[in-house]
Chains A and B, each alone.
Chain A
Amino acid sequence: MSNLNEGSILIALAGNPNTGKTSLFNRLTNTHQRVGNYPGITVDRHSGNFELPKAGEVEVLDIPGNYSLSARSAEEQIAIGALSGLPPYPAPDVVVLVVDASQLARNLYLALQVIELEQPAVVALNMVDMLDDEGREVSPHALEQALGVPVIAINAREGDGLEDLKAALDRVLAQPEKGTPGARWAHEDPLLQADLLAVHRALPESWKDGRAHREEALAAWALLSLGDDDELQRVPDDLRAAVAHRRRLAAGSGRDIDEQLISARYEWIDKHVAAATRHPNRSSAWSERADALLLHPVVGFAALIFIMGFLFQTLFSWSGPLIEWIDSGFGSVSAWIVTVMPEGTLRSFLTEGLIAGTGSVLVFFPQIMLLFALLGLMEDSGYMSRVAFLMDRIMRAVGLHGRAFIPMLSGYACAIPAVMATRTMERRRDRLLTMMVVPLMSCAARLPVYTLIIGALFPTGGDTGWIDVQGLLLVGMYLFSTIIALVAAGVLSRTLIKGPNVPLILELPPYRLPQARVVGRMVFQKGRVFVTEAGTVILACTVGLWLLSDYPGLSDAHAQPLDARLAALEQAELDPATRAVATTEIQRERGALQREHSWAGKLGHTIEPAIAPLGFDWKIGVGLIGSLAAREVFVATMAVVYGAGEGEGATLSKLRKKMREEKRSDGAPVYTPLVGLSLLVFFALACQCLSTVAVVKRETGTWRWPFFMLGYMTVLAWVASFAVYQGGMALGFH
């Protein structure tokens, strides 16, 4: 966590959420951005570089948006550490405080905290164009007088005022005292002064630098942040004890330290905001009128359903052509390699391992990018908070947070971005619970599997009726997975992942037109994470799978009779067409035999006893193992196992035909509708996605939760499939 080049100038960007901080960051750095990680915490560390006229190249760090420096979680703790240079963070040379002029009072609360810390600062007063329409006016000059630090009016969306801001940064870098006026308010209560003094004495040496006001501000931070249930890191026990002692004393005399500290700041703010603002704040009337509809219990829900419907339509229909294009693109590359390369291990590795693997990663790419873009639009426009507002009661019923709705919904596309989307939740427990159930939502990778099984084993509505069994079944699978996910959340929240019902405080920011720049950058960055995180796992699994199903080669004992038949065919007097058919048939047999005796085949046989009670044979077992790379690989694996990829015609319809024709040793068909149903249920519930496991490991920082997830979902899937198959048998379905 150090500057890229030691000794370079570091500028920190701080501000409330929805203030234009991200817009400003994008404007300043343009394309020179990096995404890293804070040590030990899964919060992305966004930094970039830009040029200052005098100081030259500087690094800028985008501090996660927050309303205050006080913290109770390790994630919130980043702000105080990175802004004041507590170990292990380097101290910034200047802090740019992004302040939204339309919400001046609340924004200044954070600004005051930073100024108290004696961190050289510059205020970037973001004046959104909307402001003028409403006749409000904030005077940067008056604000500068009050705060004692340079205040520069900017418009972050349009990029206005950036040159002034840069000049101010240069000035403060040259003369730090110009941005370091010291604390703006005094603690008049002697009891509070005694609290601060006692906590000040208990501060660890590494937090002290001899500046008394800064240390007093850190003491105030500790008094406000430390408590019985905080999740803060690197806080020495002495400090905790001192804070606990002073808080007990205060409580004994009926004093509320939190209220004293916070209201002292707001008293100062109220006094000076009035001086800097020409008209009193009025609410954003336009947003409020929109909310009268969008938060309405009937109209608002209808709008939400409409928007979600649009989202689904986009994800599943409109991304179709792109997906097919990518799919067929990889297909043609494979086909081309087959024509130009001699048969052998390398060709097989390239086509069945490398290209197939890359293809199965990228085939999801359009859908996932679209999902990110749509979620980005919802977030940047301010609608996301409204979704949490509408959905909170329903989500709360199963122990989930209102903000869990969007990750759950994203789960319909792919669990990986959905798990990453849980970061908008503040409490670790809420995040964990959501992550554990998100993979139960029917993701896009299950769709090809559903389509294969339903198409092969269930009748279409045809001309007989208007109810289409296949379509109904597909809708049923989505409904089933959603209900199970909610039930699982309900059960987990009352047992393993118990926690207090955390109060919800939602800010409803004014609606804004989303910015292509902001959304585009988010899509790009998340897309890159998807490709690197999930992509590598999927690719590695596909290559591993290729190894398992291609090795070892056929033993001589098995190969000889087939070779002999081939040789005999060569000798026989046949017309070329018949000979070609017979040759293909023998090669198919040879392929099937090889796969049965490959490691994958052996694995399939090994797990057969475990899956036989569900109605599955070893070939399905091979498919299940294969689907650990990614569920849709099941279709490809089954095509390989049944040799449906060879010869003319569409693979999918050939595979369905072969599945219907497949017989057990006693002549009964392997695939009955009951087996199909059991398989559908298994796929809906099992955690057959190692990428999800890997991402949950990354997000939780431990192997415990991803393994728990894998375990409970596998058990759930097995039990449910067992119940379906054995129950069906007992009821006389076969």
Chain B
Amino acid sequence: MTPLTSLPPGGCGRLLSLGGERSFRRRLMELGLLPGTEFRLVRLVHVGGMVEVEVRGCHISLRMSEAEQIEVEAIAP
């Protein structure tokens, strides 16, 4: 049970499951962040409460509070 926000910046992960309301999950999936997808955590900005990930060549940022509902497993880059 690893939330996305616990990955180290620069680290890679594989998405296991998405939490949150339906339209949030749907939009993330449509942007290519599906269960099973590999991604890279680009940065975590604690002050602003934001996280940025790169998935399928796109950079997407989320609030940390919402990214905590995304479960991942760390993988080797």
Give A contacts to B, CB under 8 Å.
67-68, 70, 72, 102-106, 109, 224, 227, 229, 258-259, 262-263, 266, 281-283, 287-288, 291-292, 295-297, 389-390, 392-393, 396, 500, 503-510
- A107 (CB) vs chain B CBs: closest residue: B58
Q: Please give, as numbers and ranges, the residues of chain A lying within 8 Å of B56 by CB-CB distance.
A: 103, 105-106, 281
Closest Cβ–Cβ distance, residue B12 to chain A (whole Å): 12
Q: Please give, as numbers and ranges, the residues of chain A lying within 8 Å of B60 by CB-CB distance.
A: 505-508
- B56 (CB) vs chain A CBs: closest residue: A105
Q: A393 to B29, Cβ gap below 8 A?
A: no
Q: B28 to A505, Cβ gap below 8 A?
A: yes
- A500 (CB) vs chain B CBs: closest residue: B21
Give the secondary structure class of B's interface. mixed
- B30 (CB) vs chain A CBs: closest residue: A68
Q: Which of B36, B43, B47, B63 contacts A503 (CB 8 A)?
A: B63
Q: Which of B30, B54, B57 contacts A109 (CB 8 A)?
A: B30
- A109 (CB) vs chain B CBs: closest residue: B30
Q: B63 to A504, Cβ gap below 8 A?
A: yes
Q: Which of A262, A283, A287 contacts B26 (CB 8 A)?
A: A262
Given contacts A258-B22, A281-B56, A389-B45, 16 further A-B contacts (CB under 8 A): A67-B27, A68-B27, A68-B30, A70-B26, A103-B56, A105-B57, A106-B31, A106-B56, A262-B26, A266-B37, A291-B42, A295-B45, A390-B48, A393-B47, A506-B61, A510-B59
Q: Please give, as numbers and ranges, the residues of chain A lying within 8 Å of B28 by CB-CB distance.
A: 505
A726 to B34, CA, bound (A): 62
| Residue among A102, A297, A509 with the highest chain B CB neighbour number at 10 A | A297
Q: A503 to B48, Cβ gap below 8 A?
A: no
Q: Please give, as numbers and ranges, the residues of chain B lying within 8 Å of A105 by CB-CB distance.
A: 32, 56-57
User: Number of B residues whose C-beta is below 8 Å from A?
Assistant: 37
Is B73 part of the contact surface with A, judged by Cβ < 8 Å? no
Q: B32 to A266, Cβ gap below 8 A?
A: yes
Q: Please give, as numbers and ranges, the residues of chain A lying within 8 Å of B25 by CB-CB distance.
A: 258
- B60 (CB) vs chain A CBs: closest residue: A507
Q: Which of B20, B37, B58 contacts A507 (CB 8 A)?
A: B58
Is B52 part of the contact surface with A, judged by Cβ < 8 Å? yes
Q: A288 to B42, Cβ gap below 8 A?
A: yes
Q: Please give, as numbers and ranges, the residues of chain A lying within 8 Å of B49 by CB-CB distance.
A: 392-393
- A507 (CB) vs chain B CBs: closest residue: B60
Q: A283 to B24, Cβ gap below 8 A?
A: no
Q: Please give, as numbers and ranges, the residues of chain B lying within 8 Å of A106 by CB-CB distance.
A: 31-32, 56-58
Q: Please give, as numbers and ranges, the residues of chain B lying within 8 Å of A390 by CB-CB distance.
A: 48
Q: Which of B34, B43, B47, B66 contacts A262 (CB 8 A)?
A: B34
Q: Please give, as numbers and ranges, the residues of chain B lying within 8 Å of A229 by CB-CB distance.
A: 23
Q: Please give, as numbers and ranges, the residues of chain B lying within 8 Å of A507 by CB-CB distance.
A: 31, 58-61
Q: Could you pull out 18 A-B pairs where Cβ atoms are within 8 angstroms?
A: A67-B27, A102-B57, A106-B56, A227-B22, A229-B23, A259-B29, A262-B26, A262-B34, A282-B57, A291-B42, A295-B52, A389-B48, A392-B50, A396-B63, A504-B62, A504-B63, A505-B61, A505-B62
Is B8 part of the contact surface with A, judged by Cβ < 8 Å? no
- A113 (CB) vs chain B CBs: closest residue: B30
A207 to B30, CA, bound (A): 24
| Residue among A287, A396, A505, A506 with the highest chain B CB neighbour number at 10 A | A505
**Given known A-B contacts A507-B60, A508-B60, A393 and B34 have beta carbons under 8 A apart:** no
Q: Please give, as numbers and ranges, the residues of chain B lying within 8 Å of A266 by CB-CB distance.
A: 32, 34, 37
| Residue among B21, B26, B27, B34 with the highest chain A CB neighbour number at 10 A | B26
Q: B52 to A508, Cβ gap below 8 A?
A: yes
Q: A504 to B66, Cβ gap below 8 A?
A: yes
Q: Which of A281, A296, A297, A506 contacts B57 (CB 8 A)?
A: A281
- B23 (CB) vs chain A CBs: closest residue: A72
Q: Please give, as numbers and ranges, the residues of chain B lying within 8 Å of A292 by CB-CB distance.
A: 43
Closest Cβ–Cβ distance, residue B49 to chain A (whole Å): 5
A292 to B59, CA, bound (A): 13
A106 to B60, CA, bound (A): 12
A508 to B48, CA, bound (A): 15
A288 to B10, CA, bound (A): 12
A509 to B58, CA, bound (A): 7
Q: A103 to B62, Cβ gap below 8 A?
A: no
A237 to B22, CA, bound (A): 21
Q: Please give, as numbers and ranges, the residues of chain A lying within 8 Å of B22 by CB-CB distance.
A: 227, 258
- B67 (CB) vs chain A CBs: closest residue: A503
A545 to B26, CA, bound (A): 54
- A265 (CB) vs chain B CBs: closest residue: B30
Q: B58 to A103, Cβ gap below 8 A?
A: yes
Closest Cβ–Cβ distance, residue B43 to chain A (whole Å): 7
Closest Cβ–Cβ distance, residue A252 to chain B (whole Å): 16
A70 to B45, CA, bound (A): 31
A288 to B26, CA, bound (A): 26
Q: A297 to B54, Cβ gap below 8 A?
A: no
Q: Please give, as numbers and ranges, the residues of chain A lying within 8 Å of B30 by CB-CB distance.
A: 67-68, 70, 109, 262
Closest Cβ–Cβ distance, residue B63 to chain A (whole Å): 5
| Residue among B20, B21, B30, B37 with the highest chain A CB neighbour number at 10 A | B30
- A280 (CB) vs chain B CBs: closest residue: B57
- B21 (CB) vs chain A CBs: closest residue: A503
A104 to B56, CA, bound (A): 8
A392 to B63, CA, bound (A): 9
A104 to B24, CA, bound (A): 22
Q: Please give, as numbers and ranges, the residues of chain B lying within 8 Å of A508 by CB-CB distance.
A: 52, 59-61
A283 to B43, CA, bound (A): 14
**Given known A-B contacts A72-B23, A106-B32, A227-B22, A503 and B42 have beta carbons under 8 A apart:** no
Q: B34 to A505, Cβ gap below 8 A?
A: no
Q: Please give, as numbers and ranges, the residues of chain A lying within 8 Å of B45 by CB-CB distance.
A: 295-297, 389
Q: Please give, as numbers and ranges, the residues of chain B lying within 8 Å of A258 by CB-CB distance.
A: 22, 25-26, 29
Q: Please give, as numbers and ranges, the residues of chain A lying within 8 Å of B27 by CB-CB distance.
A: 67-68, 505
- A509 (CB) vs chain B CBs: closest residue: B59
Closest Cβ–Cβ distance, residue A390 to chain B (whole Å): 6
Q: A389 to B50, Cβ gap below 8 A?
A: yes
Q: A259 to B35, Cβ gap below 8 A?
A: yes
Q: A503 to B59, Cβ gap below 8 A?
A: no
Q: Please give, as numbers and ranges, the residues of chain A lying within 8 Å of B46 by CB-CB distance.
A: 297
A263 to B32, CA, bound (A): 9
- A505 (CB) vs chain B CBs: closest residue: B27
6 smallest beta-carbon distances between A and B, as pairs: A281-B57, A297-B47, A508-B59, A503-B24, A105-B56, A68-B30
Closest Cβ–Cβ distance, residue B45 to chain A (whole Å): 6
A506 to B63, CA, bound (A): 9
Q: Please give, as numbers and ranges, the residues of chain A lying within 8 Å of B37 by CB-CB distance.
A: 266
Closest Cβ–Cβ distance, residue A116 to chain B (whole Å): 14
